[in-house]
Amino acid sequence: MPDPLKLDFGLFGQLRRDAGADWDRYVDHAFVRALGAGTLPRPAFQHYLKQDYLFLIHFARAYALAGYKSATLAELRAAAASVSAIVDVEMPLHVGYCAEWGLSEADMQAEPEALETIAYTRYVLERGMAGDRLDLEAALIPCIVGYAEIAARLRADPATRTEGNPYAAWIDAYTSPAYAAVATGAIEAMDRMGQARGGAARYPDLLATFRTATRLEAAFWDMGWSARPAAC
């Protein structure tokens, strides 16, 4: 399916294309298709929501690390704004949304981290600690832009259920103009970092990081999909 958001540009676009089947498996996963069809079993979505809460905590930590790794005041401000957006805006919204699915914040705080959550979040942090700001961005961006692409693909897909879909609010959140601006801004920021930090010469390493993060995103869907009742 063509990219509905026209996100395939710049350094990110090259990474996305070269990730090939890994990217396709992430954005066209069975979990995602079931969201669009409205057929995803409730326990699978609830498990995903609990793990996503834990994931967001580590994602905020990764942006705090991005601040430390920033080379300019503009990058530092952007990283600080991302930490605040996750901690002060996205997480409260996530908690409110989860309450509609019968999950309290205490439930999510008490949930053990799934191995897939540990693997993904610690990988992102490791790339940031071992590398520079561009290495960290290569590990972060599949999540940011991938969700925008997934939701846009679902919105454009005739198979997506538009009436009475219990997951319509999830799709709406990631197809909003505000989130599209976040995704586009991340792509543009990565382009600037690539130009400033020799991205072309480092491309094979950046692609390896990007592909691994993309595979870990698909594994995160696997984790949610595996929580379906046995009869499904």
| CA-to-CA dists, residue 193 to 9, 25, 72, angstroms | 15, 27, 11
Catalytic residue annotation: 143, 217
Query: What amino acid is encoded at 227 in this protein?
Result: A
Distance CA 172, CA 98 (A): 15
Evaluated on CA atoms 102, 221, 44, 126, the torsion sign reads negative
Q: Which among 167, 35, 148 is positioned nearest to 100, based on CA atoms?
A: 167
Dihedral (C-alpha) 124, 135, 186, 36: value to the nearest 10 degrees? Answer: -40
